[in-house]
Chain A
Amino acid sequence: MSNDKFISIEGIAKRYPNPAGGSTAVFEDLWLSMKRGEFSCVIGHSGCGKTTVLNILAGLDEPSEGAVIVDGQAIEGPSLDRAVIFQSHALLPWRTVMGNVAFAVSSKWRNWKAEQVREQAQKFIDLVGLTGSEHKRPSELSGGMKQRVGIARALSITPKMMLMDEPFSALDALTRGTLQDEVRRICLETGQTTFMITHDVDEAIYLADKIILMTNGPGAVLAEILENPLPKNRARIDIHRHPHYYGLRNHIIDFLVSRSKTFAQTVTGRDPRHVPVVRPALPEPAIINEPAA
């Protein structure tokens, strides 16, 4: 299929029945596409339905309506092609670091010999910098180390796509920075298509090619897709020196503070199939593709 629409979310909705009868829609008629090798970040307030979208992409949850097409095929349940990094790292506590990664490797390559599985697992444990901790159990690891095991486990099956649900939100600033660097390096090296949820504006600016702004639920919609104007070779320590940095940052924060609440009521003539792509820059953000009328 075309690289332009490696992943295509086509009109999905998620509704939960109300205890009193009827149903509440977390979101309705959601359309979004992602290119191969692209890093997309979703930002939105708590409870707007970010995890729900990610779970649908992962195949762990089913939309009430609509479909998701990955590489030309509709998603029917979870797949080894789409690795998930869970918010709570979700390591199996009775297995060691090696055991957790090897579990994923042996799930993908069922007839590999133990030696082969161990080798592949070791490669990714080394990649996330956990060499020497292979035989520790999750309870003996720090939060950052656990998250690294989760990353190693997701990468070890060489997925076509990575789905990350606030992977760094439980970490201290220093560890978070290091892991962001690592994830960015790995994603650039392996050309991963990545979908990530975050609450951290700077994290989104540093990592993402596209930042998707989601309004508050219930009935959340995608308000804008921001194209990251910062150069691809940006470094975490000096992104704030980039002339476009503050324009982008203020735009996102403005959205989170005020527009995310009022967007659904104030904006009319919105076409859910064509979310406006915006490239915020100096001095005012400019819309580079008008929503089709």
Chain B
Amino acid sequence: MANSLSIRAAVVSIALLLLFLGGWHIATRGTGPAANMSPEYARLMGATATQGKSAMPGPLDVGAKLWEHIKSPFYDKGPNDKGIGIQLGFSIARVLFGYVIAVAVAIPLGFLIGMSPLMSKALDPYIQILKPISPLAWMPLALYTIKDSNTSAIFVIFICALWPMLINTAFGVAAVRREWVNVARTLEVGTVRRAFTVILPAAAPTILTGMRISIGIAWLVIVAAEMLVGGTGIGYFVWNEWNNLSITNVIIAILVIGLVGMILDQILARFTRMVTFPE
């Protein structure tokens, strides 16, 4: 039953993809040579004008370009011409850097907030005000104080990844079932051991859910941040190719951004499943 359902779903998915690619191809294909144009003018204008071709690349153009990228993802021909693999590497490194720092701050702080009603009340107004600020709004301030554009991008990732993890950790820790805490109390388990043996495993699914939301947001934000700071990264790549008017490369970048985002999300989803316990 479930098996046949997934087979049917796969068939529908593939059909939709073919439909989309077909529609795309038809919408962007050439309409044949345009009449009487001087050859010199035609060369100047390119296929868009001479062949009635759309300025939008078709799926075949994108496919061909993609193949080029896949063949040599890591070439480096100066600051404005690096392989897409290198650019992705820069972006992923920044995201992981900022994310790991955010984890290191959010989880202990979330524990504190979740375990102490005093800290929870005291820090609440700050969290409420800081949380809705667009991470990019921090960018000028970060560039001004940190001065280094790379570190500023990492800082922005840190800021945007912080809140979901902080809030989920605090909530998960505060919501640990009273009876589990009572078990630890009757066994005279000390605070530190209790935090690691009871509260952490009990709150882990909620914490991991926060971490999953955070990695998603971090990956959304890195593209915008790199467009602003420039230099390297997939966001910069998109901006640079837009300036080169290479829509093909922009489309490829979009595709790759989606793929990497999905992979990051799936990794966290797997971790979440590992710590989830049935009751």
The verdict on A107 contacting B277 (CB below 8 Å), with A86-B182, A94-B201 known, is: no
The verdict on A137 contacting B277 (CB below 8 Å), with A90-B179, A90-B180 known, is: yes
Chain A residues positioned under 8 Å from B197 (CB to CB): 103
Chain A residues positioned under 8 Å from B202 (CB to CB): 92, 94
Give the complex CA separation of A254 and B122 in angstroms: 54
> Is A80 positioned at the interface, with any CB of B under 8 Å from its CB?
yes
Contact A92 B201 (CB under 8 A): yes
Contact A88 B186 (CB under 8 A): no
Chain B residues positioned under 8 Å from A59 (CB to CB): 185-186
Contact B278 A107 (CB under 8 A): no
Contact B183 A83 (CB under 8 A): no
> Is B187 positioned at the interface, with any CB of A under 8 Å from its CB?
yes
B-contacting residues, A225-282, CB 8 Å: none
| Majority SS at the chain A contact face | loop
Contact B278 A80 (CB under 8 A): no
Chain A residues positioned under 8 Å from B187 (CB to CB): 78, 80, 103-104, 107-108, 157
Give the complex CA separation of A139 and B177 in angstroms: 16
Give the complex CA separation of A78 and B270 in angstroms: 38
How far, in Å, is B194 (CB) from chain A's closest CB? 10
Contact B278 A139 (CB under 8 A): yes
- Count of interface residues, chain B, beta-carbon cutoff 8 Å: 19
> Is A84 positioned at the interface, with any CB of B under 8 Å from its CB?
yes
Closest to A90 in B: B179
Contact B183 A92 (CB under 8 A): yes
* Interface-centre pick from B179, B183, B185, B202 (highest chain A CB count, 10 A): B183
B-contacting residues, A26-47, CB 8 Å: none
Contact B183 A139 (CB under 8 A): no
The verdict on A92 contacting B198 (CB below 8 Å), with A78-B188, A108-B187 known, is: yes
Chain A residues positioned under 8 Å from B184 (CB to CB): 107
Chain A residues positioned under 8 Å from B188 (CB to CB): 78-80, 107
Contact A107 B189 (CB under 8 A): yes
Contact with A along B170-198 (1 / 0, CB 8 A): 00000001011011111111000000011
B-contacting residues, A59-90, CB 8 Å: 59-60, 77-80, 82-84, 86, 88, 90
Give the complex CA separation of A78 and B190 in angstroms: 12
Contact A90 B182 (CB under 8 A): yes
> Is A58 positioned at the interface, with any CB of B under 8 Å from its CB?
yes
Chain B residues positioned under 8 Å from A104 (CB to CB): 187
Contact A93 B278 (CB under 8 A): yes
Chain B residues positioned under 8 Å from A93 (CB to CB): 277-279
Chain A residues positioned under 8 Å from B189 (CB to CB): 107
Chain B residues positioned under 8 Å from A139 (CB to CB): 277-279
Closest to B277 in A: A94
How far, in Å, is A50 (CB) from chain B's closest CB? 16
How far, in Å, is A55 (CB) from chain B's closest CB? 8
Give the complex CA separation of A228 and B137 in angstroms: 76
* Interface-centre pick from A86, A94, A108 (highest chain B CB count, 10 A): A94
Besides A78-B186, A139-B277, 16 new A-B residue pairs in contact (Cβ under 8 A), listed by A number: A58-B186, A59-B186, A60-B186, A78-B185, A80-B188, A84-B186, A86-B179, A88-B179, A92-B180, A93-B278, A94-B201, A94-B202, A94-B275, A103-B197, A108-B187, A137-B278
List of 7 A-B pairs having minimum Cβ-Cβ separation, nearest first? A107-B187, A90-B179, A139-B278, A94-B277, A78-B186, A78-B185, A93-B277
Chain B residues at the A interface, C-beta cutoff of 8 Å? 177, 179-180, 182-189, 197-198, 201-202, 275, 277-279
A-B residue pairs in contact (CB < 8 Å), sample of 27: A58-B186, A59-B185, A59-B186, A60-B182, A60-B185, A78-B186, A78-B188, A79-B188, A80-B186, A80-B188, A82-B186, A84-B186, A86-B179, A90-B179, A90-B183, A92-B180, A92-B202, A94-B202, A94-B275, A94-B277, A103-B187, A103-B197, A107-B184, A107-B187, A137-B277, A139-B277, A139-B278
